[in-house]
Amino acid sequence: MDDKGDGSVRRAALLREFAELENRAMWSCQGQFEQAKSWQSMNTWVGSISAACAAISGALVLAAHGLDIVGGLLALVAAAGGAILTIVNASQRATKATAAANAYLEIQNAARRARRVDVPWIDLQEARNILQSLTERMDEQNKSAEPIAPRAYRRAGKNIRKGGQKATVEELSAND
């Protein structure tokens, strides 16, 4: 590959890698945010239904109209809901997914800043070091983040395509 001694080919390759890293981080970030929303929703709905069933069952058991069987069934539903929340641990999973999303967002923002502000003007080796550092952060985050459910991934894609974030890093580059 002829670089004409000015490093332009290598700089262009670095810019493409930063754009790719930014794009991957964007998709991971959005997927984790969507995953967090699902866990939060589950926690809210199952918890609310369980609490309502527990309250109603208590009232029915105390009623004098022979509604103790219905009250007992509602108590069982409330207990099942509590058991589901305990086993699934939706609240903690929502917190973990949000933390992962924020970590991916930090990587995405750092890659974007490096691509737009630093790489076009800094020393090539310094740019390579920044890329290596961000890639290692991304790899570490990928190891610790829970996998994204297919539904969350589809919702993330829909959000990105709607403009929740720019659809692709190439669109950003075209506007630079």
Q: pLDDT digit string (tens) for 24-35?
A: 999 999 999 999
Res 4: pLDDT: 58
Question: Of 4-13, 35-44, 105-114, 160-169, which range is least confident?
Answer: 160-169
Res 39: pLDDT: 92
> With left for phi above 0 and alpha for psi between -120 and 50, is residue 4 left, alpha or beta?
left
Question: What is the C-alpha separation between 3 and 123, in angstroms, rounded?
Answer: 15
pLDDT at 21 over 70: yes
Average pLDDT, the chain: 87
Q: Are 82 and 50 in contact (CB under 8 A)?
A: yes
Question: What is the C-alpha separation between 69 and 115, in angstroms, rounded?
Answer: 66
Share of the chain above pLDDT 90, in %: 57
User: Mean pLDDT across the stretch 38-51?
Assistant: 89
Question: What is the C-alpha separation between 42 and 32, in angstroms, rounded?
Answer: 15
pLDDT in tens, 124-152: 999 999 999 999 999 999 999 999 999 99
Q: How confident is the model at residue 52 (pLDDT cuts 50, 70, 90)?
A: confident
pLDDT at 169 over 50: no
How far out from the chain centre does Cα 65 lie? 50
Burial (CB count within 10 angstroms: exposed 0-12, middle 13-18, buried 19+), residue 157: middle
* pTM of the complete model: 0.78
Question: Of 27-41, 61-75, 125-139, 161-175, which range is least confident?
Answer: 161-175
Q: Are 11 and 124 in contact (CB under 8 A)?
A: yes
* Other beta carbons within 10 Å of 49: 14
Question: What is the C-alpha separation between 108 and 146, in angstroms, rounded?
Answer: 18
Res 6: pLDDT: 67
Question: Of 52-61, 80-89, 100-109, 166-175, which range is least confident?
Answer: 166-175
Under DSSP, is residue 121 helix (H, G, I), strand (E, B) or coil? coil
